[in-house]
C-alpha cells in the first residue's frame, strides 16, 4: 500500500473513531470531524459553511476545545465559512508526549491549517490563551486577517496570575493535581462560570469529554507552564513580538465581548484591549464569567454579527 493510501486509510479510521467518541454529545456538537497533519501529529478541526464566504476562525484556549464555539458554528455557518480547530494536545487532536507545547508552535500549527485550507478574509474569534495564539498567527499572516473578536483573553504580557493557576505551576504538585486529579479541566465547568447552574449536564460533558484520562491532560499542564511571566521564560520573546505587532491591526474592525465576572481574565484585561484598540465596540456581560459564550451566548452572537457587518 502506498504512503498516500495508508494516510487516507488512517484518516478514515481516525474520523470514524472521532464520530464514535462524539456520539454522546452529538446534539450539541453535530459537526463532521476533520484532521490536518502538523509537526507532532494531527489536529482536529470543524469546517462548516460556504467555502467561498468570508471566514470566521475560532481559536480556543486552556482547557477548552472547539466545542466552546459550537453555537457560533451553528449560528453563522449559513452565511460564513466557520472553522474551529483543536490545538495539538487538546480536544480530538492527537496528544503526543514528546512535543514542545509552546505558544509559537501552536501559532505555527494554526498557520499551517489556514494555509492548507486557503483561508482569506479571516475574522479571528479568540478566547483565553487563544488570543495570544491567534494574534501570534496574525502577525505572521496579517494580510489574511480582516477583523478581531476577543472574549476574555489577552495577547500581551502581564504579571497577573491568580493563585489557583499559580498552584498548578508549582513543581511536582501542580502537574500531579492537574493530570491525576483533573484539578483544572475538571473544575472548569465550576470556576469558568459565574452561575454554576448555567451549564447543563450535556454541556459539562462536552467541555470535559477530551480530558477524561491523565494522559489526555498533558497539554493542559503544558499550557499552564507556558504562561510567560519573565524574560527568561521560553515563550516570553514570542508573546513580546505578538504584543508589539498589535499596533498594525488598529485599523481593522474590532469587537470585545467580556464576561465581567471572570476571575482570571478580569475586566483589567478588557481595559488593556480598549487602550490598544480605542475604536473597538465593547459588550460587557455583567453576569457572565470566563465562559462568556456559555452564560451569554445571545450577547456573543449579537456582538459577532455586528462585527461581521463592519468587516470589509
> 306 an active-site residue?
no
Active-site residue (options: 60, 87, 127, 290): 290
> 262 an active-site residue?
yes
Could you tell me how far CA 268 lies from the centroid of its own chain? 20
Greatest Cα-to-Cα distance within the chain, rounded to the nearest angstrom: 58
Contacts of 55 (CB under 8 A, 6+ apart): 80, 81, 82, 83, 119, 120, 121, 122, 123
Active-site residue (options: 47, 86, 226, 262): 262
d(CA 228, CA 277): 23
DSSP annotation string for 63-128: T--GGGGHHHHHHHTTTSEEEEE--TTSTTS---SS----HHHHHHHHHHHHHHHT--SEEEEEEE
Task: Determine the length of the chain.
Answer: 312
Tell which residue, 222, 254, 230, has the closest CA to residue 138: 254
Tell which residue, 121, 84, 149, 119, has the closest CA to residue 302: 149
Between the alpha carbon of residue 145 and those of residues 24, 51, 70, 118, the distances in Å are 35, 17, 22, 12
> 290 an active-site residue?
yes
Could you tell me how far CA 159 lies from the centroid of its own chain? 21
Active-site residue (options: 106, 128, 194, 226): 128
Class of residue 140 by CB neighbours under 10 A (exposed 0-12, middle 13-18, buried 19+):
middle
User: Which residues are annotated as catalytic?
Assistant: 128, 262, 290
Amino acid at each position: 500500500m502506498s504512503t498516500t493510501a495508508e494516510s487516507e486509510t488512517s484518516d478514515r479510521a481516525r474520523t470514524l473513531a472521532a464520530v464514535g467518541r462524539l456520539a454522546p454529545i452529538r446534539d450539541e456538537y453535530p459537526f463532521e470531524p476533520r484532521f490536518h497533519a502538523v509537526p507532532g501529529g494531527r489536529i482536529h478541526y470543524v469546517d462548516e459553511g460556504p467555502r467561498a464566504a468570508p471566514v470566521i476562525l475560532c481559536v480556543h484556549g486552556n482547557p477548552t476545545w472547539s466545542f466552546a464555539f459550537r453555537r457560533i458554528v451553528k449560528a453563522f455557518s449559513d452565511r460564513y465559512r466557520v472553522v474551529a480547530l483543536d490545538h495539538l494536545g487538546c480536544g480530538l487532536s492527537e496528544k503526543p508526549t514528546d512535543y514542545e507545547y509552546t505558544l509559537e508552535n501552536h501559532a505555527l500549527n494554526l498557520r499551517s491549517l489556514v494555509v492548507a485550507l486557503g483561508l482569506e478574509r479571516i475574522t479571528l474569534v479568540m478566547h483565553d490563551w487563544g488570543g495570544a495564539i491567534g494574534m501570534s498567527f496574525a502577525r505572521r499572516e496579517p494580510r489574511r486577517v480582516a477583523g478581531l473578536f476577543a472574549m476574555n483573553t489577552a495577547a500581551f504580557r502581564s504579571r497577573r496570575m491568580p493563585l489557583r493557576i499559580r498552584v498548578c505551576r508549582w513543581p511536582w504538585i501542580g502537574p500531579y493535581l492537574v493530570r491525576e486529579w483533573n484539578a483544572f479541566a475538571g473544575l472548569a465547568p465550576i470556576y469558568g462560570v459565574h452561575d454554576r447552574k448555567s451549564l447543563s449536564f450535556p454541556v459539562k460533558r462536552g467541555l470535559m469529554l477530551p480530558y477524561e484520562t491523565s494522559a489526555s491532560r498533558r497539554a493542559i499542564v503544558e499550557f499552564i507552564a507556558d504562561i510567560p511571566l519573565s524574560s527568561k521564560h521560553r515563550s516570553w520573546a514570542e508573546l513580546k513580538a505578538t504584543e508589539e505587532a498589535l499596533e498594525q491591526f488598529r485599523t481593522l474592525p474590532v469587537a470585545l465581548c467580556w464576561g465581567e465576572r471572570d476571575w482570571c481574565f478580569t475586566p483589567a484585561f478588557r481595559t488593556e484591549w480598549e487602550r490598544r484598540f480605542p475604536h473597538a465596540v465593547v459588550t460587557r456581560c455583567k453576569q457572565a464569567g470566563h465562559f462568556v459564550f456559555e452564560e451569554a451566548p445571545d450577547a456573543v452572537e449579537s456582538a459577532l454579527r455586528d462585527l461581521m457587518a463592519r468587516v470589509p
